[in-house]
Amino acid sequence: MHAARYVGNNTIAVAEVPVAPPPAGQVQLDVAYTGICGTDLHLLHGAMDARVTLPAVIGHEMSGRIAAVGEGVTGWAAGDPVTVMPLAWCGACPACAAGHQHICQNLDFIGIDSPGSLQNRWNVPQEVLVRLPASLPLDRAALVEPVAVSVHDVRRADVRPGEKAVVVGGGPIGVLIAVAARHAGAEVVVAEVDSERRAMVAGLGFAVLDPGTGDLPARVAEWTAGAGADVVFEVSGAAPAVLGATALARVRGRLVIVAIHPQPRPVDLKQIFWRELTVLGARVYERQDFETAVTMLADGVVPADRLITGTVPLTRVADAFEQLSAGQAMKVLVDCQEGA
């Protein structure tokens, strides 16, 4: 079969690899689609070399069908449509003991710390499977994982009906957070510097602000009658956005850090002190977030067709990374069966 492997030096290459039967307790998946995300770009650019073993099959946003089941697997059968919640925890560390298995201190993020879904067939533990409804097309189902991220972020922020939320960053996760926050009943404004992304976000019915023009805190204050936003999501990953985010929140508002910041960032601690802000981290997701994400996609809450801006075969996976690196696409899917 074919697998796309990160081989270091900003290079991903497709190679022929042997197909191994699923071990006991695991299932083998025919991977239909894999989405490429910002984490995959970080991997390609070497930011996670300390975690991967080269050559590394990456990818974790996926959909597919069960091809075979290993010994001892129950409740699953060949042909079942599924996605994968790509987290394997140890069950023994203090975080797991406290009920926070999703951020296990020894977490195996499948697709980074162990082989991922950019291959024709993929063996995974049965515990990570999430069932998909037959009515949900598999290309849209490849968005379950990023939608689950946004659901977790909004749930972590405890967004309530009638609240005002600012999303700083209009990339794929920022847009999905906006969708999830609106679904939770909030009024949402998205701040995004790129004009094409602003146009796309506006086309989804969101108010959009350009942080590069005018006084963003003043414009948010005007929108909120002088109060500031109830919750601010920092999704851009940009240092100026982090520094300015605290000025957008109301007294006792919440600031949620969603983006991966590889370097320490300056933060306006005076604003946190002065307004008694709550700062929250939101890293991955839990099983309930995945289940909610499946429902949102199946019910058409998520504008999947607008977000999927291209599909390439596995043999051209490098093209998908180039498009995303150049900012030319919102979400590119890799068809892991075409040419298999």
Q: Give the H or E element holding residue 123.
A: strand 121-125
Q: Give CA–CA dist 279/146, Å, rounded.
A: 22
To the query of whether residue 39 is one of the catalytic residues in this protein, the response is: yes
Half-sphere exposure in the Cβ direction for 107 (13 Å, CA): 18
DSSP 23: P
Closest to 155 measured CA to CA, from 186, 132, 124, 133: 186
> Catalytic residue among 2, 34, 39, 60, which?
39
To the query of whether residue 102 is one of the catalytic residues in this protein, the response is: no
> Catalytic residue among 2, 11, 34, 42, which?
42
267 burial level (CB within 10 Å; 0-12, 13-18, 19+)? middle
DSSP E strands, 21-120: 26-35, 56-57, 61-69, 81-84, 87-88, 108-109
> What is the DSSP secondary-structure string of 6-20?
EEETTEEEEEE----
Number of alpha helices (DSSP H) and beta strands (DSSP E) in the chain: 12, 18
Do 325 and 20 touch, CB atoms closer than 8 A? no
Residues marked as catalytic: 39, 42
